[in-house]
Structure 1
Amino acid sequence: MTDYPSNITRDQFELIRVDLETFRKRTCPRRVDLFDVFNAVLYELRTGAQWRQLPHDFPKWQTVDT
């Protein structure tokens, strides 16, 4: 993945990973890396771009938006 200014490091993500995983619905196994999804959300918050304009190296916008 490209290193965007809004990205956090894996070490920083590990501090919040457990909390984020507890909010997950227990329906099916995760298909994308939660780290990538979280960085995509941070990108959206920082840039103000629309969900459909996420760069292609993030997960699909439908995955990030839900």
Structure 2
Amino acid sequence: MISVKSMSRKSYASDLSDREWELLEPLLPKPQKRGPKPNANLTEVVNGIFYILYSGCHWRSLPHDLPPWQTVSTECT
């Protein structure tokens, strides 16, 4: 498990707590053993998704300390 609190960026009100991540992580698909490695930390991608839902901002308006909007958007589809 990746600790949400150990990230080196400011936290947002929409960020998942460690407890919330523990509950959500088992519900997410496991990374494939073959193929390309993920471009971003899954915790940060999920935090990006929740940031958009919480703030109502446009994809391209994600803060720069979250993964790029293209990465977050791709993970949603």
TM-score grouping bracket, smaller chain normalisation: 0.7 to 0.9
Q: Which position in structure 2 is the counterpart of 1:44?
A: 52
Mapped partners of 1:16, 1:46: distance in 2: 17
Deviations 1:13-34 (A, max 9, x none): 1221122134x6x342213110
Q: Normalising by structure 2, what TM-score?
A: 0.72
For structure 1, list consecutive stretches of 5 or more residues without a partner in the other structure: none
Q: Identify which of structures 1 and 2 has the higher relative contact order when contacts are C-alpha pairs closer than 8 Å and 6+ apart.
A: 1
Q: Note if contact 2:39-2:71 (Cα within 8 Å) is conserved in structure 1.
A: no
Please point out which of 51, 54, 57 is paired with 2:65: 57
Q: Deviations over 1:13-66 (max 9, x none)?
A: 1221122134x6x34221311000001100100111000000000000000011
For the aligned residue pairs, the C-alpha RMSD in angstroms reads 1.5
Number of residue pairs the alignment of both structures matches: 64
Q: Identify unmatched segments of 5+ residues in structure 2.
A: 1-8
Question: Partner residue of 1:4?
Answer: 12
Within the alignment, does 1:17 sit opposite 2:25 as a pair?
A: yes
- Identity of matched residues, %: 36
Moved over 3 A (4+): none
Residue equivalent to 2:6:
none
